[in-house]
Chain A
Amino acid sequence: MDPMAEIKATFFQECEEQLAELEIGLLAMEAGDSGSETVNAVFRAVHSVKGGAGAFGLEDLVRFAHVFETAMDEVRTGRLASSPDIVKPMLRAADVLADLVRAARDGGEVDAARSDAIAAELSAMTDGDAHASQVDDGMGEIDFKPVQVTTDDPPAREASGWTVRFKPRSELYRKANETVLLLRELARLGEVEVELDASELPLLPHLDPEGAYLAWTIHLRGEGSEAAVREVFEFVDTDCELDVQPCDPDSDGQGDVEAVADLGAGLDIDALIRNAQAQVRDGQATGPDTTTEAAPVVSAPGANRPEPVKANASISAPTIRVDLERVDRLIDLVGELVINQAMLAQRVTEAGMARASSVAVGLDELEQLTREIQDSVMAIRAQPVKSVFQRMPRLAREVAGATGKQVRVVTEGEGTEVDKTVIERLADPLTHMIRNAIDHGLEKPDSRRDSGKNPEGVVRLSALHRSGRIVIEVSDDGAGINRERVRAIAAEKGLIAGDAMLTDEETDNLIFMPGFSTADSVSDISGRGVGMDVVRRSIQELGGRISIVSRPGLGSTFTMSLPLTLAVLDGMVLSVGDQTLVAPLTAIVETLQPRRSDVHSVSGGSRVIAIRDRYVALIDVGMALGYRSEPLDPEAGVALLIEGEGGSRAVLLVDAIQGQRQVVIKSLEANYRQVVGIAAATILGDGRVALILDADALVAASRGAEMRLLPTG
């Protein structure tokens, strides 16, 4: 990647962060928080996007961000009160801004009419009465000069100049700004006289090399407006104390200079040296009390001491960006360590060492340490679900807009962490479920009112950790599943027999069947033939499960339970023929000891097994994978009832269960190719490769032999 592209990539990454901040801020404003911190955060976000976009010459983005920024500035300065009428268009503007950023990054087009309309709406807001005559519609005519921001300023005084007091905080330097450049920039506006105020400079022992101790007072004589002066500090204004005062027209500015010079006593090097020497002689150079007492030269009355605590509070915990490949390499290595440790343990047992021997004890400690390292390394890949959750309010707005419904999205547990890949692959199913919840779950405002509900529906999205897994719930307070209709549709589509007797739970689960879609008409929102079966499938691919609870009139709740990482898996270690296989624990519903009388042969040599009066396909794993040429006697083996895609079930017949353990997932495709019936591989304690069964594929392969498609539970 060439350096420019790299910088640009970083810019887009930061844009995503800024856009997220923007949305969070706007949502807070929508909820009634108009505190300056929130408003400023929103302003800063738009501002940063604009700044970066300008540097890369992304003109569309700059133009739109500018209009947005202008509007935000009005709110920030209090000229425009934050209200739902203001915030709603801003939320839409944030969506457009996000689209523009993505278009700039990935190429592609943004609906110009939409962005123009929203830009016009924003500028109408800012121009209000004062400039209504200047702006008609569209953006083409608007001449974006930064001056526009300031036209509403109090009547401009015929100031002969400005006195600028500028005191950088350490963050300013940390962000690689340079005061000299700022001052030089200021000098372009007119004649300047710069005073350095070094009164806060501590003695060397107390000097934080990265601290900010200097302040400047600049007397600017010239025609420049206050806005022009402030613009110089545009990119640093959050990281410094800035005070811009008009010079008294009567004075030529000299008075101010003297006043300031009196106030801050400059840097008296001789005095400092004398003092320091005195302290060294007294051997008290490190006493803070002594310093303040013995250094009257540096104490400046009235100087604004920055509050470091406050400044740091806004900075979140320090983070670094790391190439994902490096993290994955580390995870691989730790996986190796775990396997090696297990091998070592096995060797020690084989060698006949006593449990209490010092080797065995050391090994136990090693195991503990290894597990801890593994957990910590996995935590590097873990990210809060926030990144996917925060896309949902926007989606909800769009779906609500398209369906004429009112919706509020409530998210909980956004900080819950899960593997990055899980998060990425969660986005699609969640999107689909939110759409479904609004499109099918929530009623229209009128009918909600009729049934005594708030016309605004609530879709709740929550995440939490439960017993080593992440549980995500999507619930709505809509009408719940219409079981009559579900049953009718399922019968019509031939998914169930017309006279099938189903429990409520079974009926609800019908919506997960392939080819099922309850929408009256295939709508743009959630139709298109993909339904909850796709959602279920994506969740199962992640090693998760999904279930639904629906209460008529009160709404539905979908609950997903997912593993925290895709790198390890809880598996059941099985013997099949002379091979050792692993079955994912999540796919196994129960294990049972089959009786010969329960097993029946059906046409084509396939077998079924009766479990509580239902016939389920019996898959002889050894036969299916070609490890055995003769079918296994059911009573000589163990049966595992598994649930695959679409809730269909099958029974796997294996020779024996060896135990249960966590295994590190290894790709088979990396060096070979996909194998039907095998999901991946792992390495067991003896150092040998064991294959992990793909329950879905085995069930699918046995479809032909299945008696009923219905869940048996």
Chain B
Amino acid sequence: MTQPMSESPKPPGLGRELISFRIGSQEFCVDIMSIREIRGWTPATALPHAPAYVRGVINLRGAVLPIVDLSIRLGLGAAELTPRHVIIVAQVEDQILGLLVDAVSDILTVTDDMIQPTPDVASEAVRTFVRGLLAIDGRMVSFISLDRVLPEGELELAA
């Protein structure tokens, strides 16, 4: 299921590459440099005391990889899991995590001036993750940052 990223054509000139994916009817993208691989969905082992958007952990060649359901994390609600779902394996600082999304759609080459600031109307989830908006062929693609995707802070002690 792994698709090595090196197969993607190298764009001429400057600009950054983003990988775009679909959750429900919406499209999002992240910086391709933080993506390690894309793989199919495998059932995860549930973690106790975890927020709803942490689906559990899977075995990624010996590493224990937490899976974040981006749909729940971005406030779009839980989706029924199908074998068609994919996991985007991303590196955030020194941790690796899996992002559960509906499908990967494209690789975009953009320059910084193409990224428009997020309008003020946005919800809290949008303010937390969305770094900007892109207009690609008439579609709106939200550019998100993965820094705060995993739960942070101290352990919530179980009762």
Among the listed stretches B5-13, B22-30, B44-52, B122-130, which one makes contact with chain A, having 4 or more residues with CB under 8 Å of it?
B44-52
Q: Are A671 and B59 in contact (CB under 8 A)?
A: no
Distance between Cα atoms of A690 and B58 in the complex (Å)? 9
Distance between Cα atoms of A691 and B58 in the complex (Å)? 11
- Count class of interface residues, chain B: 20 to 34
Distance between Cα atoms of A627 and B150 in the complex (Å)? 21
Distance between Cα atoms of A681 and B63 in the complex (Å)? 10
Q: Are B151 and A673 in contact (CB under 8 A)?
A: yes
Q: B43, B62, B157: which has the most chain A beta carbons within 10 Å?
A: B62
Contact for A627 among B48, B62, B96, CB less than 8 A:
B48
Which residues on the B side are within 8 Å of A336 (C-beta)? Answer: 61-62
Q: Are B45 and A690 in contact (CB under 8 A)?
A: yes
Q: Are B158 and A691 in contact (CB under 8 A)?
A: no
Q: Are B59 and A624 in contact (CB under 8 A)?
A: no
Which residues on the A side are within 8 Å of B62 (C-beta)? Answer: 332-333, 335-336, 339, 666, 683
Min CB–CB distance B91 → chain A (angstroms): 10
Q: Are A689 and B58 in contact (CB under 8 A)?
A: yes
Min CB–CB distance B69 → chain A (angstroms): 14
Chain B 81-118 near chain A by CB (<8 Å), digits 1 or 0? 00000000000000111000000000000000000000
Q: Are B57 and A687 in contact (CB under 8 A)?
A: no
Q: With A681-B57, A689-B57 in contact, do A675 and B49 touch (Cβ < 8 Å)?
A: yes
Asked if B65 CB lies within 8 Å of chain A CBs, one says yes
Distance between Cα atoms of A579 and B43 in the complex (Å)? 12
Q: Are B63 and A672 in contact (CB under 8 A)?
A: no
Asked if A625 CB lies within 8 Å of chain B CBs, one says yes
Which residues on the B side are within 8 Å of A673 (C-beta)? Answer: 150-151, 155
Q: Are A668 and B46 in contact (CB under 8 A)?
A: no
Q: Are A670 and B95 in contact (CB under 8 A)?
A: yes
Look across to chain B and name the residue whose beta carbon is closest to the beta carbon of A664: B62
Look across to chain A and name the residue whose beta carbon is closest to the beta carbon of B96: A671
Look across to chain B and name the residue whose beta carbon is closest to the beta carbon of A690: B45
Min CB–CB distance A310 → chain B (angstroms): 49
Asked if B64 CB lies within 8 Å of chain A CBs, one says yes
Min CB–CB distance B43 → chain A (angstroms): 7
Min CB–CB distance B118 → chain A (angstroms): 29
Q: B43, B64, B151: which has the most chain A beta carbons within 10 Å?
A: B64
Min CB–CB distance A340 → chain B (angstroms): 9
Which A326-349 residues have C-beta < 8 A from chain B? 332-333, 335-336, 339
Chain A 638-667 near chain B by CB (<8 Å), digits 1 or 0? 000000000000000000000000000011
Q: With A671-B65, A671-B97, A676-B155 in contact, do A689 and B59 touch (Cβ < 8 Å)?
A: yes
Q: With A332-B62, A701-B158 in contact, do A627 and B45 touch (Cβ < 8 Å)?
A: no
Min CB–CB distance B59 → chain A (angstroms): 5
Asked if A626 CB lies within 8 Å of chain B CBs, one says yes
Min CB–CB distance A4 → chain B (angstroms): 28
Which residues on the A side are within 8 Å of B66 (C-beta)? Answer: 671-672
Q: With A689-B57, A689-B59 in contact, do A672 and B64 touch (Cβ < 8 Å)?
A: yes
Q: Are B48 and A625 in contact (CB under 8 A)?
A: yes
Q: With A672-B57, A675-B50, A681-B57 in contact, do A667 and B158 touch (Cβ < 8 Å)?
A: no
- A-B interface contact total, Cβ < 8 Å: 85
Look across to chain A and name the residue whose beta carbon is closest to the beta carbon of B48: A625
Distance between Cα atoms of A666 and B56 in the complex (Å)? 15
Asked if A478 CB lies within 8 Å of chain B CBs, one says no
Asked if A531 CB lies within 8 Å of chain B CBs, one says no
Min CB–CB distance B124 → chain A (angstroms): 22
Q: With A668-B57, A670-B64 in contact, do A691 and B95 touch (Cβ < 8 Å)?
A: no
Q: Are A677 and B58 in contact (CB under 8 A)?
A: no
Which A150-185 residues have C-beta < 8 A from chain B? none
Distance between Cα atoms of A426 and B42 in the complex (Å)? 40
Distance between Cα atoms of A681 and B96 in the complex (Å)? 16
Distance between Cα atoms of A675 and B57 in the complex (Å)? 12
Distance between Cα atoms of A678 and B158 in the complex (Å)? 11
Asked if A493 CB lies within 8 Å of chain B CBs, one says no
Q: Are B63 and A666 in contact (CB under 8 A)?
A: yes
Q: Are B64 and A676 in contact (CB under 8 A)?
A: no
Q: How many residues of A contact B (CB 8 A)?
A: 31
Chain A 674-713 near chain B by CB (<8 Å), digits 1 or 0? 1111100101000111110000000001000000000000
Min CB–CB distance B3 → chain A (angstroms): 20
Q: Are A677 and B48 in contact (CB under 8 A)?
A: yes
Q: Are B46 and A676 in contact (CB under 8 A)?
A: no
Which residues on the A side are within 8 Å of B44 (C-beta)? Answer: 689
Q: Are A681 and B64 in contact (CB under 8 A)?
A: yes
Q: Are A667 and B64 in contact (CB under 8 A)?
A: yes
Contact for B48 among A339, A666, A678, CB less than 8 A:
A678
Distance between Cα atoms of A107 and B58 in the complex (Å)? 45
Which residues on the B side are within 8 Å of A677 (C-beta)? Answer: 48-49, 158
Q: Are A579 and B46 in contact (CB under 8 A)?
A: yes
Distance between Cα atoms of A670 and B97 in the complex (Å)? 10
Look across to chain A and name the residue whose beta carbon is closest to the beta carbon of B159: A701
Q: With A681-B64, A688-B59, A701-B158 in contact, do A671 and B48 touch (Cβ < 8 Å)?
A: no
Which residues on the B side are within 8 Å of A667 (C-beta)? Answer: 64
Which residues on the B side are within 8 Å of A678 (C-beta)? Answer: 47-48
Which residues on the B side are within 8 Å of A668 (C-beta)? Answer: 57, 64
Which residues on the A side are within 8 Å of B158 (C-beta)? Answer: 624, 676-677, 701
Min CB–CB distance B46 → chain A (angstroms): 6
Min CB–CB distance B4 → chain A (angstroms): 20
Look across to chain A and name the residue whose beta carbon is closest to the beta carbon of B65: A671
Q: Are B64 and A671 in contact (CB under 8 A)?
A: yes
Min CB–CB distance B64 → chain A (angstroms): 5
Q: Are B43 and A626 in contact (CB under 8 A)?
A: no
Which residues on the A side are within 8 Å of B59 (C-beta)? Answer: 339, 683, 687-689
Distance between Cα atoms of A677 and B151 in the complex (Å)? 18
Q: B43, B45, B155: which has the most chain A beta carbons within 10 Å?
A: B45
Distance between Cα atoms of A332 and B63 in the complex (Å)? 9
Distance between Cα atoms of A668 and B48 in the complex (Å)? 12
Distance between Cα atoms of A690 and B46 in the complex (Å)? 9
Look across to chain B and name the residue whose beta carbon is closest to the beta carbon of A683: B59
Chain A 60-81 near chain B by CB (<8 Å), digits 1 or 0? 0000000000000000000000
Which residues on the A side are within 8 Å of B56 (C-beta)? Answer: 689
Which residues on the A side are within 8 Å of B48 (C-beta)? Answer: 624-627, 675-678, 691
Which residues on the A side are within 8 Å of B150 (C-beta)? Answer: 672-673
Query: Which B residues fall within an 8 A CB radius of A?
Result: 43-50, 54, 56-59, 61-66, 95-97, 150-151, 155, 157-159
Beyond contacts A677-B158, A689-B58, A691-B48: 11 other A-B pairs, Cβ-Cβ < 8 A, are A336-B61, A579-B46, A625-B49, A627-B48, A671-B63, A671-B64, A675-B47, A675-B155, A676-B158, A678-B47, A688-B43
5 closest cross-chain pairs (CB), A and B: A625-B48, A672-B66, A689-B45, A676-B158, A336-B62
What are 27 of the A-B contact pairs (CB < 8 Å)?
A: A332-B62, A336-B61, A339-B62, A579-B46, A580-B45, A666-B62, A666-B63, A668-B57, A670-B63, A671-B65, A671-B96, A672-B64, A672-B95, A672-B150, A674-B155, A675-B48, A675-B50, A676-B157, A676-B158, A677-B49, A681-B57, A681-B64, A683-B62, A689-B56, A689-B58, A691-B45, A701-B158
